[in-house]
Amino acid sequence: MAAQTEESDCAREQTKAEQDVDQVRQRAARDQKRLDSGVVSSPKDLENLQREIASLAKRQGDLEDVVLEVMERRESAQERAGELTERVASVQAKIDDATARRDAAFEQIDGEVATATKEREVIAAAVPADLLKLYDKLREQQGGIGAAKLYARSCQGCRQELAITELNEIRAAAPDTVVRCENCRRILVRTAESGL
């Protein structure tokens, strides 16, 4: 945007400088016409007129240099604006690409969530209501994990090894008894790898 502003500032400056050149050129042309017409006859007036024409020519030259200098600046501002516009387009293309990939990932995740939610519903329907209630309560209290595997004598929820007496109790409990970790109170799931 700064480069574009500089470019339009230069364009305005160029127009102004060209108008200045034009004014001087017109004035010189008028003087030259007067000189050529022969209406000025006094040597002093003629000399003055010639001197003014010469000074106007010098002034026109100076102003034309200003125009050239402004044009050069304008050209480099245009180039810079062009380059930056290209870069903006390339960055925007990257953003668009990343956005498309993100949206695709969201879509996939939403699909996975829908599948997992359905699976959970089926499993939850098979769990007794009071156990499900306990599980949901623990899950809320324990950062999303209401039940954990008992693996090699350790609770996989809190990673604590269970005490011998506790292990003995669990070993003695009926297979359908709900056992819980003494430490974190999560429901413990017994498997062949529980170390009982």
Q: Which residues bind Zn ion (CB under 5 A)?
A: 155, 157-158, 181, 183-184
Query: Which of residues 40 and 151 has its CB atom nearest to Zn ion in the complex?
Result: 151
| Smallest separation, CB 159 to Zn ion (Å) | 8
Query: Which of residues 35 and 196 has its CB atom nearest to Zn ion in the complex?
Result: 196
Across the beta sheet with 187-190, what order do the strands follow?
154-155, 147-151, 187-190, 179-180
Query: Which of residues 57 and 195 has its CB atom nearest to Zn ion in the complex?
Result: 195
Cβ neighbours for 57, distance < 8 A, ≥ 6 positions apart = 28
- CA dist., res. 131 & res. 187, Å (int): 9
- CA dist., res. 134 & res. 143, Å (int): 14
Q: To 10 degrees, what angle do helices 2-37 and 43-126 make?
A: 160
| Smallest separation, CB 90 to Zn ion (Å) | 53
Query: Which of residues 49 and 184 has its CB atom nearest to Zn ion in the complex?
Result: 184
Q: Which amino acid is at 88?
A: V
Query: Which of residues 73 and 153 has its CB atom nearest to Zn ion in the complex?
Result: 153
Compute the C-alpha angle 187/192/193, nearest 5°.
80
**How many C-alpha atoms does 50 have within 13 Å on its Cβ side?**
10
| Smallest separation, CB 176 to Zn ion (Å) | 21
Query: Which of residues 53 and 162 has its CB atom nearest to Zn ion in the complex?
Result: 162
| Smallest separation, CB 161 to Zn ion (Å) | 10
| Smallest separation, CB 94 to Zn ion (Å) | 47
- CA dist., res. 170 & res. 191, Å (int): 12
- CA dist., res. 178 & res. 109, Å (int): 33
- CA dist., res. 91 & res. 155, Å (int): 50
| Smallest separation, CB 160 to Zn ion (Å) | 6
